[in-house]
Amino acid sequence: MPETHEIIIVGAGLSGLSAAHFLHSSAPGTDILILEQDGRPGGAVRSFSEHGYLAEWGPHGFLDNNPASRALLSETGLDRIAQKAPLGSFVRYVCHAGRLVQLPQSPFALLKTPLLSPLGKLRLLGDLFKKPRLEEQSVGQWAAYRFGPEILPLVDAAITGTFAGDYERLSIDGVMPGVRALEKEAGSVLKGLLRKKRGAGVLPAMTSFPLGMEQLITTLATGPNILYHSPVRAISRGNEAWEIHTGAKTYRAATVILALPVNRALTLLADHAPPLAALPTAGIATVALGFTDKAQVPFGFGYLAPERENRFAMGALFSTRMFPGRAPQGRVLMEALVGGRRHPERLELSDDELISRIYDDLRQLIPLPEPPCFSRVLRGDSGIPQLEMGYPALLAWKDSLEQELAGLHLCGFGWEGIGMNDMMKTAKMVADKILLQTGGKRPEPEVKPVYF
């Protein structure tokens, strides 16, 4: 006989753990089982600690401006130890003509930046007179239409830092739904931002923890019932419940949450004719380099490099500038990112080759009088889902499928975005829908700042 539970969550990543937390928080007696294929929770959220250095395999933080993530931190007590790096207090840089130039802190600051010519700045204002195009566009097509071609290297840098992607392939409706909504509602992005700015408060802060991002995962994983090394091979809908097959065992539940990266979920749902068999992914590696304090690392979060700069690294985070405890006393840590959608071949290099190439790249931009005294290459197991053209149709299919198949819910890496806030927010929405606290409608799209 199948083992029966009220709710089964497939996947113990951030989405699955967050969904379990919100369900138990509102309904403490709910019988929930989480099935996880790996031997550890967290998925892409994973921290690395060695010799006093603290680096990240995956995301380095999230903004504290989302109600779901704020609720989760408050309910777990993590808000009392969270480390904050306020956006308004830190500089971000972009590589421009072989040097680091401060990135404008807001869209309106572009009018003062040396990154654009006077004609390019004037063209930005053309957005005020451009009617929204309703058809699906790539990020590059959309940005060039609204703001002119000079803005594209900055757009490229932002997309590189967030998605490790190609702005000519990514869908504007998938990547920036909040900005797209502003455009459609106000008739122009700048008009929409002006309206939104009137009610805006202080800028949010980047959030991490003393033991790194994995501290969030270990906290969330201490409560729920998790079965590790339990890969789900198939799911099927019976007369009254779902059956979840791991190969070794079959489980039954009235409600199943597929809290999986989008491509793993699509594999399990292939019989339901999704419009895309899979999303492309972009693999990246983090090259963590420690230096003595003779390294003249600029004040700020880090820098990004547009493709036209021909840099080896997509960018780097100035980790010890962002959060305390990232390096031993008298040392600094930088974490450079390499690979991405455009350069997967670079991930085939050995660790020593990556370290050497990254060091050469960094010292052309930052005064580094000594070689690194610490180096590690962190290679992720899976890539970042690329929300490319066709992604909006996939979301529409997801919504239709959840309405058609009672008890099925989807959330996870690549559904509704790729950020940690996206995953916590969607997990909260799924939990509320299951508990009948809301109608389960997709939340309003947000205008998300570029924080790396």
> Residue 15 falls within a domain, yes or no?
yes
> Residue 114 falls within a domain, yes or no?
yes
Look up the CATH number of the domain holding residue 216.
3.50.50.60
Shared domain for 259 and 126, answered yes or no, is: no
Shared domain for 173 and 222, answered yes or no, is: no
Instruction: From 152, 176, 198, give the residue that closes a domain.
Output: 198
Q: What's the domain range around 151?
A: 107-198
Shared domain for 188 and 224, answered yes or no, is: no
Residue 376: predicted pLDDT: 98
- Based on the structure, what is the number of domains in the chain? 2
**226 has pLDDT over 80:** yes
Which pLDDT tens digit goes with each residue over 65-107? 899 999 999 999 999 999 999 887 778 999 999 999 998 877 7
Shared domain for 162 and 240, answered yes or no, is: no
Which pLDDT tens digit goes with each residue over 396-451? 999 999 999 999 999 999 998 999 999 999 999 999 999 985 444 555 666 655 54
Shared domain for 215 and 261, answered yes or no, is: yes
Q: 3-state SS of the chain? A: CCEEEEEEEECCEHHHHHHHHHHHHHCCCCCEEEECCCCCCECCCCEEEECCEEEECCCCCEECCCHHHHHHHHHHCHHHCCEEEEHHHCCEEEEECCEEEECCCCHHHHHHCCCCCHHHHHHHHHHHHCCCCCCCCEHHHHHHHHHCHHHHHHHHHHHHHHHCCCCCCEEHHHHCHHHHHHHHHHCCHHHHHHHHHHCCCCCCEEEECCCCCHHHHHHHCCCCEEECCCCCCEEEECCCCEEEECCCCEEEEEEEEEECCHHHHHHHCHHHCCCCCCCCEECEEEEEEEEECCCCCCCCCEEECCHHHCCCCCEEEEHHHHCCCCCCCCEEEEEEEEECCCCHHHHHCCHHHHHHHHHHHHHCCCCCCCCCCEEEEEECCCCEECCECCHHHHHHHHHHHHHHCCCEEEECCCCCCCCHHHHHHHHHHHHHHHCCCCCCCCCCCCCCCCCC
Q: How confident is the model at residue 108 (pLDDT cuts 50, 70, 90)?
A: confident
Instruction: From 138, 163, 198, give the residue that closes a domain.
Output: 198
Lowest mean pLDDT among 183-197, 227-241, 264-278: 183-197
Shared domain for 194 and 217, answered yes or no, is: no
Shared domain for 186 and 234, answered yes or no, is: no
> Residue 374 falls within a domain, yes or no?
no
Which pLDDT tens digit goes with each residue over 365-382? 999 999 999 999 999 888
Shared domain for 215 and 256, answered yes or no, is: yes
Which pLDDT tens digit goes with each residue over 286-299? 999 999 999 999 99
Shared domain for 8 and 33, answered yes or no, is: yes
Residue 106: predicted pLDDT: 75
> Residue 243 falls within a domain, yes or no?
yes
Residue 145: predicted pLDDT: 97
Look up the CATH number of the domain holding residue 171.
1.10.3110.10
Residue 438: predicted pLDDT: 44
> Residue 181 falls within a domain, yes or no?
yes
Q: How confident is the model at residue 172 (pLDDT cuts 50, 70, 90)?
A: very high
Instruction: From 138, 169, 198, give the residue that closes a domain.
Output: 198
Residue 439: predicted pLDDT: 46
Residue 111: predicted pLDDT: 84
Q: How confident is the model at residue 452 (pLDDT cuts 50, 70, 90)?
A: very low
Per the structure block, which two tokens stand in for 202?
């202080």
Shared domain for 114 and 191, answered yes or no, is: yes
> Which percentage of the chain shows pLDDT scores above 70?
95
Residue 446: predicted pLDDT: 64
Lowest mean pLDDT among 38-52, 103-117, 196-210, 265-279: 196-210
Shared domain for 191 and 266, answered yes or no, is: no
Residue 441: predicted pLDDT: 54
Shared domain for 40 and 189, answered yes or no, is: no
> Residue 315 falls within a domain, yes or no?
no
